[in-house]
Amino acid sequence: MSSSLSPSRLATYATCPRQYDYGYVQDVNTPDRTELYLNQGTIYHETIEDVCDETDRDDAPETIHERAMRVFDAKWAEHSTAEDYESDAHQAYQRAENRAGIAAFFDPDGGDGIEHARRSVATEVWVECECDGVRLHGKADNVVRTDEGLHIFDYKRNVRGVLTPWTAQYLADHRDGDAHEPKRVRNAFQTATYVEGVKNEAFYEADMEVRFSFYGLLHDTDFTSTPDGYEVSASGKERETTELYEEHYDTIWALIREAHDGITSERYEPAFFELITEEACPDCDYREMCADRLSTEVQR
């Protein structure tokens, strides 16, 4: 039986098979990049996880909010380091921005995080699924019980560029080589993995409705000057992809199968390389050593 693959691995292959080869097969080291946003992601993910795990269904909104702010302060102290920032002022602003995002999410007056915490049945839960011999796995940030079933959430900084009804058509274009849309393809891979994977968990019951959404905690932020300095406000946004998964099911699983078969068959020669060169090469960590890209430079 083939190995289980994550949406991240599949998406890297969909971005460029050679990039997958360098990153996962050859394990080529690349120059260190800033840990700033990685650490911030850890902070708000762990904050939400701890708040959900500590919250009971009948906890008051004010209690949940106070818990969230206390946990955030502890997580920031644990994971944020001055070396990640250009200055003390930069670090202070980023702390204010992220804290505003958590405060808005767990706002006692209607913040989405109140019900996410009250109704959470599992956080950071490992899920697995298999379809026609293709095995996938991933870690779901939060699974929330709804009146109809389960709603899985993946928390992000924002949902700009996430798959929408208006961009889902590009999934087929990516499959056919008419466009290069690895980020939206990755969203589709994540949706498939979590929607199907959660159905294998003990808390899933037959005939439950299963939904999946990305949630951008800092989708919109605002900066206001004050006599004493400044204030930062933030608001989140949910982007559900459940219906898109159902509508484009065949295309999504064709893309999954293509990436899965390429990885398991160790095929790393990029197809549609002109598109990849234009869209993926500029941001690739391996561009200066990639023989495929360099060969195109020589031919020009």
Lowest mean pLDDT among 28-42, 67-81, 187-201, 219-233: 28-42
3-state class of 228 per DSSP? coil
Confidence class for position 145, pLDDT limits 50, 70, 90? very high
The answer, yes or no, to whether residue 160 has pLDDT greater than 60, is yes
Exposed/middle/buried for residue 205 (C-beta within 10 Å: 0-12, 13-18, 19+): exposed
Q: Which residue has the higher pLDDT, 197 or 293?
A: 197
What is the per-residue pLDDT for 296?
57
First-to-last C-alpha distance (Å) of the chain: 44
Confidence class for position 299, pLDDT limits 50, 70, 90? very low
In angstroms, rounded to a whole number, what is the distance separating the alpha carbons of residues 300 and 201?
54
Mean pLDDT of 17-24: 90
What is the per-residue pLDDT for 294?
66
Other beta carbons within 10 angstroms of residue 59's beta carbon come to 15
The answer, yes or no, to whether residue 184 has pLDDT greater than 80, is yes
**DSSP-derived secondary structure for 129-186:** EEETTEEEEEEEEEEEE-SSEEEEEEEES--TT---TTTTTHHHHHHHTS---HHHHH
- In order of their start, the domains of the chain are 1-27+122-300 (3.90.320), 34-118 (no CATH)
Question: pTM to 2 decimals?
Answer: 0.91
Confidence class for position 34, pLDDT limits 50, 70, 90? low
What is the per-residue pLDDT for 85?
83
What is the per-residue pLDDT for 33?
52
**Token pair of 82 as six digits:** 């001055």
Nearest to 185 by CA among 283, 266, 256: 256
The mean pLDDT value of the chain amounts to: 91
In angstroms, rounded to a whole number, what is the distance separating the alpha carbons of residues 47 and 131?
34
The answer, yes or no, to whether residue 220 has pLDDT greater than 50, is yes
Highest mean pLDDT among 18-27, 87-96, 187-196, 269-278: 187-196
The answer, yes or no, to whether residue 263 has pLDDT greater than 60, is yes
In angstroms, rounded to a whole number, what is the distance separating the alpha carbons of residues 286 and 283?
9
For residue 114, the surrounding DSSP H or E stretch is helix 112-118
Exposed/middle/buried for residue 242 (C-beta within 10 Å: 0-12, 13-18, 19+): middle
What is the per-residue pLDDT for 286?
83
Residue type, 55: T
